[in-house]
Amino acid sequence: MKILVVFDSVWGNTEKIAKAIGTALEPRGEVKVVKADAAKPADFGEKDLIIVGSATQKFNALPAVKKLLASLPAGSLKGAKVAAFDTRLPVAEAKSRVLKFMAKNFGYAAEKLGKTLVAKGGEQAVAPEGFFVGGTEGPVKDGELERAVSWAGKL
């Protein structure tokens, strides 16, 4: 099985999750883990499983990963299983009602990435998932790397 994990990350938290997912999938086949700005549309070709992740910023994925997915030709992910993840703040724990309201209404990166992957022809392997960081620069919250490994196990 050929597996691609593409991620974008500012402070390295999403990269840690992406690498944990990549390592967890190694027994399943040939895994390539690549940052969005170093990935090319050709990297998506002939992959059986494609996982895309991004830090959530302004309720969305980072620009490089959005641009990369937008550059994929229509239908080009046909035949591939796809899944999306993000990192995010635990907004449910936030005191600000405005922030909670906005996060509830505008969402996170993973759902949007997942929709784009399906719109490009991919078949959703598992529901999009978010992994929590403790603050804007991290760290990845306790237990989240393990949760990412277990999410990868469902793929």
Ligand X SMILES: Cc1cc2nc3c(=O)[nH]c(=O)nc-3n(C[C@H](O)[C@H](O)[C@H](O)COP(=O)(O)O)c2cc1C
**Chain positions contacting ligand X, by CB under 6 A:** 9-14, 55-59, 87-89, 91, 103, 133, 136, 138
> Measured from the CB atom, is 51 or 77 closer to ligand X?
51
Q: How far is the CB of 54 from ligand X (least distance, A)?
A: 8
Residues 6+ apart with CB under 8 A from 15: 7, 9, 35
> Measured from the CB atom, is 23 or 76 closer to ligand X?
23
**In Å, how far are 9, 24, 36, 47, 89 from 60, measured between CA atoms?**
13, 26, 15, 25, 13
Calpha distance 53→18 (Å, rounded): 7
Q: How far is the CB of 23 from ligand X (least distance, A)?
A: 17
> Measured from the CB atom, is 73 or 135 closer to ligand X?
135
Q: How far is the CB of 65 from ligand X (least distance, A)?
A: 11
